[in-house]
Structure 1
Amino acid sequence: MPERAALVTGGSSGIGFDIARALGEDGYALTISARKPDKLEEAARTLRDAGLEVHAVAANMAEEEDIKRVAREHRERYGRLDVLVNNAGVGIAGPIEQTDTKRLDIQLDVNLRAVYLMTRECIPLLKQAGAEHRRAHIINTASIAGKIPQPGLAAYSAAKAGVVALTQATIRELSNEGVRATALCPGFVATPMTEWIKEHVPESEMIQTSDIVAAVRFLLSCSPNCIVPEIQFVRPGDMP
């Protein structure tokens, strides 16, 4: 059994990949999950080539059985869980009146329902870690859209607002068990997911994944007496 272990969904690229790499560098054995097997295995190979311990599990976060399988494989592989990073997400832009139910459902399922289900499946292991060192942590990638809802992103904004609320409820349920939770609420981050906006917001002017990684490392360095419910990341001039 490793001394520390972490599970990162949406771990094949962008924010999730960089968080996973940082956790691996900091001594965590890793499970990473993403929907596309080829892309996930490429990410895992990159991490393994850097000397990190990585288990990759391809899964669709819209499917409950896939979520259960990821949690189960992590438990069977490592036997412990100190950090859960619910990072998988999807955004589909469009006005409410033109959004069909399928596009609504996939955003609610991946961005909110999956966070709830993965958290539920991982709570027993997180409680065990919390009883051991009182530093178990759930990190949920929300969005600044969950704090400042955006036109054209109504479903995404609503789901991410739900993640913020879920995070706060989780704190109230689990903090006495040594399990903390934080919602990360970034604006545009320079990742493949924001390719659609780069004509209007240059990548060089976006929040960087290194900013998110620095925040995660800060959270994990806090004493057991310190809970940070959320962190907002905004660009200069973007404050409401």
Structure 2
Amino acid sequence: MTTRAAIVTGASSGIGLATARMLGEEGYSLTLAARRADKLEAAADELREAGFAVHHVAAPLQEEDAVKRVVAEHRDRYGRLDVLVNNAGIGIGASVAEIETKKLDLQLDLNLRSIILFYREAVGLLREAGKEHSSALVVNTASIAGKYGQAWMSVYAATKGAVVNWTESMHKELAQEGIKSTALCPGFVDTPMTDFVKGTVAAEEMITPQDIAESVRFLLRVSPACCVPEIQFVRPGDAM
């Protein structure tokens, strides 16, 4: 019988895959979700080979029906949800005069709307876990850009700022039911999303996906009396 279970979105690589691996190490049964079926299947197979219980759902997570399907398949397979990691996201740079509506909507829908929908669809399962052990956890991947804003990456920064605010709201709304919410706000992490800046900041000088995953491990281990609404990750010497 599954004793703990988690959903991780954006799980085919980077932060999502590292966090999924950590959750597997901690004994969680996993549902992985991401857009690209080939990459997601490879990630799922990698985790299965490590001995973890893994279900995967390839879906465009900016779409409401896809969010519903991920949560429904997870519920049908495991019957419970203790951890939800809202990690799927996208950043598309443009100056304000060159923002394309299609790319604007994609960032709003995937980076923010999808998170809200996942909360709505999963809150029943999370409430059951919170009632059981007072430590249900939702982790939302934001960004340090959501704390300070960024030229050129302005839409991305705005969505991540909204994620921070949404997380604070969910902390206030759900914490008393044993559901904790934490926003993770990293600077540059060595993932494919930061390839555009690796000519300026070397990959080996970036935060690692494992750094982020270990912060989630910490969140799993604190007592029910301890809530951590936000964690910032910066490189040595970076402005805060």
Range class of TM-score, shorter chain: over 0.9
Q: How does 1:1-240 map to 2 (within 5 A)?
A: 1-240=1-240
Task: Measure how far apart 1:124 and its partner are.
Answer: 0.3
| In 2, Cα distance between equivalents of 1:62 and 1:131 | 30
Contact 2:4 2:29 (C-alpha < 8 Å) held by counterparts: yes
Task: Measure how far apart 1:122 and its partner are.
Answer: 0.5
RMSD, aligned α-carbons = 0.7
Secondary structure at 1:22's aligned position in 2? helix
For structure 1, which segment, 48-57 or 206-215, has the greater mean C-alpha deviation from structure 2 after superposition? 206-215
| In 2, Cα distance between equivalents of 1:148 and 1:204 | 24
| In 1, Cα distance between equivalents of 2:187 and 2:79 | 35
Secondary structure at 1:46's aligned position in 2? helix
Secondary structure at 1:180's aligned position in 2? strand
Letter in 2 for 1:26: E
Task: Measure how far apart 1:11 and its partner are.
Answer: 0.4
TM-score, L = length of structure 2: 0.99
Q: List runs of 5+ in structure 1 lacking aligned partners.
A: none
| In 1, Cα distance between equivalents of 2:126 and 2:239 | 35
1:64-109 CA-to-partner distances (Å, cap 9, x unmatched) read 1001000000000000000000000000011111011111000000
Task: Measure how far apart 1:62 and its partner are.
Answer: 1.3
Identity %: 57
| In 1, Cα distance between equivalents of 2:215 and 2:62 | 27
Secondary structure at 2:84's aligned position in 1? strand
1:102-145 CA-to-partner distances (Å, cap 9, x unmatched) read 11000000000000001111000000000000010000000000
1:12-32 CA-to-partner distances (Å, cap 9, x unmatched) read 100000000010011000000
Contact 2:140 2:183 (C-alpha < 8 Å) held by counterparts: yes
| In 2, Cα distance between equivalents of 1:22 and 1:53 | 13
| In 1, Cα distance between equivalents of 2:96 and 2:122 | 34
Secondary structure at 1:7's aligned position in 2? strand
Contact 2:22 2:214 (C-alpha < 8 Å) held by counterparts: no
For structure 1, which segment, 83-92 or 212-221, has the greater mean C-alpha deviation from structure 2 after superposition? 212-221
Moved over 2 A (4+): none
Task: Measure how far apart 1:210 and its partner are.
Answer: 1.5
Letter in 1 for 2:225: N
Secondary structure at 2:148's aligned position in 1? coil
Task: Measure how far apart 1:42 and its partner are.
Answer: 0.5
Secondary structure at 2:32's aligned position in 1? strand
Letter in 1 for 2:17: F
Secondary structure at 1:199's aligned position in 2? coil
Secondary structure at 1:60's aligned position in 2? coil
| In 2, Cα distance between equivalents of 1:73 and 1:145 | 33
| In 2, Cα distance between equivalents of 1:238 and 1:93 | 21
1:131-164 CA-to-partner distances (Å, cap 9, x unmatched) read 0000100000000000010000111011000000
Task: Measure how far apart 1:61 and its partner are.
Answer: 1.2
| In 2, Cα distance between equivalents of 1:50 and 1:197 | 32
